[in-house]
Amino acid sequence: MANTFGKQTLVAKEAFFQFSQTGKISQNIDWRSDDFSPSENIGGAKTYRRPARVETSSRGVLTDGSVPVGAQTLTSFTEPLVTLTVGRAFEANLGISLDDATFALSKEQVVSRHLAPAARKLRNQIDTYIGNLALLYSGNVVGNPASPSTGTAARDAFASAQELLNSRGREDDGDSVAIVSEKLSTQLTVGQLSLFNPTKAVEKLYRQGMMGQFAGFDFYRSPLLPSDRVTATGTVTVNGANQSAGAVWTQTWSLITAGWASATVPAGTKIRLANSGTAINWVHPDTFVDTGIQATFTVVSTATVTGGAATLTLSEPLIGPGGSPNAYQNVTAIPANGATITIVSSATAPQASLVFDRKAIIGASPKIALPKNLDFQAQENINGINVAIIESHDPYTLSKIHIMKAYVGAVVYLPEFVASVY
């Protein structure tokens, strides 16, 4: 006789607990799951407005403190849009029914042999998905992918990342995260004991992956960070003048290029631009002052090269100065025809560490509409992700199946507040 429903419920709760113990990336983003109904699962989408950029002005006043009479110009603004789509179904089929497992095995055996590995792998897949998305839709790069920083220089790279994000308008409110590769985390925690002292936080460091705080970031370590190893080669230039994203922020823009020696330009390739040796840099969004930090753009979908030419779809957008003040300007200049393109990515690049503001990446995981009369069902919202455990019968084999499942979508809402660190 099988064990009771109550024991299955206890095992399910343990699986949810195991799911909650991982996910260093996904637990630190802005989840908007409550905006989605259960029917808005795969393909469900919501549009969110990015913060608008408005034009401001200043005027002198008379000696008596009054403002001179004159025509007042009202500034207009456009709110750019970002679409968040639930596009992934993550599943773990355990290959054993929960009913059979709780009958044949103890609770501890069920958890250690089946549920804990499944829950961790499911959450790790979600983390990998979000990490790849962050790398693909942000142009900010600190350090050299071909020659990554080590030791003290690695620590200083994160201070430079703070400078970069602040220069691009981030409010330094301490609500930012650094996800560090396992290799780099070893160097930081062992070589920088004055920075991260494990004697004060052994559990956070070695069980939860929480390393400490530095340069305005909460540091976590993770083995799931993406690698942007790419093999695009060539002496590449811009083919055609006046190419940009226009006057208003868009998620991507197109650039016609020439001089590629490879057959494709893989997604993830990062490039920088220069006009006659003068680098195109990011500007501060309020003052439009040159930050001195060269702008980087990422190829978001693999481009085919024909006769050395390729049209790249890039993120972030490039918005240059216009004939009148442009509130969305983010770079010092628009690339000229023949502008030099430098390939930042490298075939030997290691895993990039990611730093981001917690508001920069938004995600959604709708509650799952579970059918009635399942043999067993349980669902819980964990850090914004709705995870379900169900047990039913395969309609073809009539054998019981047991699945953990989550629907997830994510989008880089504020790519200027995300950076890769090497």
Is 397 inside a domain boundary?
yes
> CB–CB of 293/232 below 8 Å?
no
Residues 127, 201 within the same domain: no
Residue with tokens 């919202």: 381
Distance (Å, whole) CA 123 – CA 385: 9
pLDDT of residue 166: 92
Is 64 inside a domain boundary?
no
> CB–CB of 269/236 below 8 Å?
no
Closest-CA residue to 331 (of 314, 313, 344, 355) = 314
Residues 126, 10 within the same domain: yes
> CB–CB of 155/194 below 8 Å?
no
Is 419 inside a domain boundary?
no
Residues 321, 250 within the same domain: yes
> Does the structure show a pLDDT above 80 at 88?
yes
> Does the structure show a pLDDT above 90 at 6?
no
Q: Residue 209: which pLDDT band, with cuts at 50, 70 and 90? A: low
> Does the structure show a pLDDT above 90 at 74?
no
> Does the structure show a pLDDT above 50 at 4?
no
Residue 335: Cβ within 10 Å count: 24
Residues 261, 158 within the same domain: no
Residues 95, 171 within the same domain: no
Q: Dihedral through CA 139, CA 145, CA 149, CA 153, nearest 10?
A: -30
Is 415 inside a domain boundary?
no
Beta-carbon contacts of 380 under 8 Å, excluding residues fewer than 6 positions away, are 16, 386, 387
Residues 172, 223 within the same domain: yes
> Does the structure show a pLDDT above 80 at 10?
no
Residue with tokens 């599943």: 91
pLDDT of residue 175: 87
Residues 43, 98 within the same domain: yes
Distance (Å, whole) CA 26 – CA 8: 27
Greater model confidence, 147 or 417: 417
Q: Residue 345: which pLDDT band, with cuts at 50, 70 and 90? A: confident
> How many domains are there within the chain?
3
Residues 335, 384 within the same domain: no
pLDDT of residue 2: 45
Average pLDDT on 405-420 reads 96
Greater model confidence, 87 or 226: 87
Domain boundary (314, 343, 372) is at 343
Buried b (16+ CB within 10 A) or exposed e, 256-288: ebbbbebebbbbbbbbbbbbeeebbbbbebeee
Residue with tokens 């069920």: 110
pTM: 0.86
Instruction: Say what percent of the chain tops pLDDT 90.
Output: 50
Residues 26, 113 within the same domain: yes
Distance (Å, whole) CA 43 – CA 20: 26
Residue with tokens 């650094």: 178
Q: Residue 366: which pLDDT band, with cuts at 50, 70 and 90? A: very high
Residues 248, 326 within the same domain: yes
> CB–CB of 411/85 below 8 Å?
yes
Residues 259, 313 within the same domain: yes
Q: How far is CA 126 from the centre of its chain?
A: 12
Q: Give the pairing of strands 217-221 and 210-214.
A: antiparallel
Q: Residue 76: which pLDDT band, with cuts at 50, 70 and 90? A: low
> CB–CB of 391/401 below 8 Å?
yes
Greater model confidence, 240 or 138: 240
pLDDT of residue 262: 93
Is 17 inside a domain boundary?
yes
Distance (Å, whole) CA 293 – CA 283: 8
CA distances from 257 to 54, 87, 240 (A): 32, 31, 8
Q: Residue 327: which pLDDT band, with cuts at 50, 70 and 90? A: confident
Range of the domain at 389: 5-53+79-134+361-409
Is 108 inside a domain boundary?
yes
Distance (Å, whole) CA 342 – CA 282: 16
Is 74 inside a domain boundary?
no
Which tens digit of pLDDT belongs to each residue from 233-278?
A: 999 999 999 999 998 899 999 999 999 999 999 999 999 999 999 9
pLDDT of residue 323: 59
Which tens digit of pLDDT belongs to each residue from 295-311?
A: 999 999 999 999 999 99
404 forms beta bridges with: 92, 389
Residues 339, 366 within the same domain: no
Average pLDDT on 277-290 reads 94
> Does the structure show a pLDDT above 60 at 171?
yes
> Does the structure show a pLDDT above 80 at 67?
no
CATH of the domain at 254: 2.40.30.240
Task: Give the range with max mean pLDDT: 142-146, 177-181, 257-261.
Answer: 257-261
For the ranges 196-200, 280-284, 301-305, 356-360, the lowest mean pLDDT is seen at 196-200
Mean pLDDT of the chain: 84
Is 59 inside a domain boundary?
no
Q: What DSSP string runs through 74-101? A: PPP----EEEEE--EEEEEE-SS-HHHH
